[in-house]
Amino acid sequence: MLALRLSRGARPAVQLRRLLVAAASAGTGFLLLCALGYAMSHPESPAEASLRLVWCLPPLASTIHFAAAVARTDPGTRPRPGLDAVGLGPLRLTLLSAATTALACALGSMLALLVFLHLRGDLTGMPFDGAAAASLAADSPLPLPAALTLLALVPVTASAAVAVVLRPGEPVAARTGAAGPLPRVGGHDRPGRRETFGAYGRFGARRRRGEPAAAEVNGAAPAGEAPADALTADGRSPDRPEEESARLPGPVPPRPAPRGLPWGVAVLAAGLAVESYAARAGDGGPVLPAALPTGPTGVLAGWLLTALGLALAAPGLTHLCGRLVQAVRPGPLRLLAGRGLMAEATRIGRPLGVVCAVASAAYASALVSGDAASAAFGPLSTLGAVVVIGCAVATLLTAAVEARQDRADTTAALLRLGAPTATLRNAAVLRACALLLLFVPLTLAVAHLAALPLAR
């Protein structure tokens, strides 16, 4: 009930994000049900039916990715001092976010079921009744357990993923002492000070094991500090959740620079190499549904490796991009833009890498498959592609919103200094342009390289 009440009171932007999650879940659920329908109407070819089921994995994965990103930015389910004080601590709020995610995904699944039944002709009274009755095996009754299992897949996995992503990373008891907000001196709330939501890896969920606390790393002796600050200094980790910065005075140590760049480049290169070797071997490979370019199995593995490499390398590349922007004798604009990009490299870079991987895969398959193939690009493949691309882009935008909300404090401080809003806006535009300048050519190059062995 609390999850319902909290989700009802949210602002339109938040509701829109939840609706997008529901839509993605509906798309994925419909694809899963269509795989079921295919299996029912073609009982003689189980291999092909299970292949169709396997092809539902990319939409499923991107839906879960998006749901986790939305849960991280959800203001309704982040720890609040008021709720903490009445006993609704970080742990239960994590469960609450999982419940909210499950709610949105279940809504989407219901929608998918309705549309599916409608297209089969089981539900009547609207246009397109039973429009796809033949292909969805309308003559045989729908096996309810199978349908329910498939429909429950998205809500269950998504809420489990959210619970894992947002799980409190440190003992709750240790945090409660520092959790209270320091009362704002003067008692005037600042205008424009927004709640900073959904830190990336809140509660130190992203805290890496084996890394010493930052107090030791920095050598900043907490001894001379006021007691409240000493408390933070003790528990600080490099990946300390940002929302603590809203609660506790003092800056949060930045996340360490992403170190995945060499790995990413290596995996990318390995993927391209595997692909070109496999194309030469040419074993026919699996038959892919619809119009996806067919090729040897090794090519497919190579593509997957390439996509993984792009996603791994992207945070490092984003950091590099920020470093280049603020490189030689920067003025305030380049300084703010570049350093901001460096600080947000992990948060922005990961979804950006996924977007690049998806975009390069889409571009490469468009390059390889000719006109004849694209004519055979069926509605289900289109739906799958829309879900995957839409989720990737929406996740990136959600991450950008998260970063902006996270930096609201800094922005407010800059505005108090009298920093022109135009400068701040230009810095954001500069960041976006720098990222586009780096990642668009990279994506195109990777796509061309990936398409090369198949095009021969």
Partner 1 sequence: MVAPPDNDVLWARALHFSYRDGSPALSGVSLGVQQGEILAVTGPRGSGKTALLRCLSGQAPARQGEIWFNSVPVHTMGAQARERLRRDRFAWIDPTPSLVPELNVWENAALPLMLRGTGRRRAKTAATEWLERLDIGALARKRPHQLVRAERQRVSIARALAPAPTVLFADEPTAPLHRADRTQVLRTLTNAARSHGVTVVLAGQDAESAAFADRTLTLLDGRRVNTVHLPPVTEPEGRAACSLSV
Contacting range for partner 1; rule: CB under 8 A; set: 29-37, 63-71, 151-159, 328-336: 328-336
| Minimum CB distance to partner 1 smaller for 222 or for 289 | 222
Q: Give dist(CA 188, CA 81) in Å, integer.
A: 18
Position 414 contacts partner 1 (CB under 8 A): yes
Among 13, 176, 421, 436, binds partner 1 (CB under 8 A): 421
* Nearer residue to partner 1 within complex by CB, 87 or 191: 191
Spell out a b/e string for 212-246, using b for 16 or more CB atoms within 10 Å of the CB, else e.
ebbbeeeeeebeeeeeebebbbebbbbbbbbbbbb
Segment (H or E) for 381: helix 379-406
Nearer to partner 1, 177 or 332 (CB): 332
Q: Is 207 helix (H, G, I), strand (E, B) or coil?
A: coil
Among residues 60, 278, 275, the alpha carbon closest in space to that of 52 is found at: 60
Stretch that binds partner 1, among 63-71, 263-271, 420-428, 438-446 (CB under 8 A): 420-428
Residues from 221 through 260 that contact partner 1 (CB under 8 A): 221-222, 224-226, 229, 249-254
Residue in 48, 122, 129, 409 binding partner 1, rule: CB under 8 A: 409
Task: Give least dist CB 224 to partner 1, A.
Answer: 5
Q: Which residues, in sequence order, are CB contacts of 279 under 8 Å at separation 6+?
A: 295, 296, 298, 299, 453, 454, 456
- With binding defined as CB under 8 A, does residue 331 bind partner 1? yes
Amino acid at 409: D
Size of the site for partner 1 (CB under 8 A): 47
Task: Work out how close the CB of 420 gets to partner 1 at its nearest, in angstroms, rounded to a whole number.
Answer: 6
Can residue 44 be called a binding residue for partner 1 (CB under 8 A)? no
CA distances from 440 to 91, 385, 395, 430, 432 (A): 40, 20, 18, 15, 12
Residue 420 interacts with partner 1 (CB under 8 A): yes or no: yes
Question: Which of 5/188 has CB closer to partner 1?
Answer: 188
Instruction: Kindly provide the residue ranges of all beta strands, DSSP E only, lying in 308-372, ordered along the sequence.
Output: none
List the one residue from 33, 119, 214, 292 that touches partner 1 (CB under 8 A): 214
Q: Is 129 in the site for partner 1 (CB under 8 A)?
A: no
413 binds partner 1 (CB under 8 A): yes
Structure tokens that stand for 348 in this block: 């922005």
Q: Contact between 181 and partner 1 (CB under 8 A)? A: no
- Cβ-based nearer residue to partner 1, 65 or 240: 240
Beta-strand ranges (E) seen in 199-262 are: none
Q: Which is nearer to partner 1, 62 or 245 (CB)?
A: 245
Cβ(35)–Cβ(149) below 8 Å: no
CA–CA separation, 103 and 426 (whole Å): 39
Helices (H) and strands (E) counted in the chain, each on its own, are 19, 0
185 binds partner 1 (CB under 8 A): yes
Q: Is 171 in the site for partner 1 (CB under 8 A)?
A: no
Residue among 93, 120, 99, 63 at smallest CA distance from 394: 63
Q: How far is the CB of 312 from partner 1 (least distance, A)?
A: 24
Distance CA 246, CA 140 (A): 58
> Within 13 Å of residue 4, how many CA atoms lie on the same side as its CB?
2
Residues that bind partner 1 (CB under 8 A): 182, 184-189, 191, 214, 218-222, 224-226, 229, 249-254, 329-332, 335-336, 339-340, 342-343, 409-410, 412-421, 423
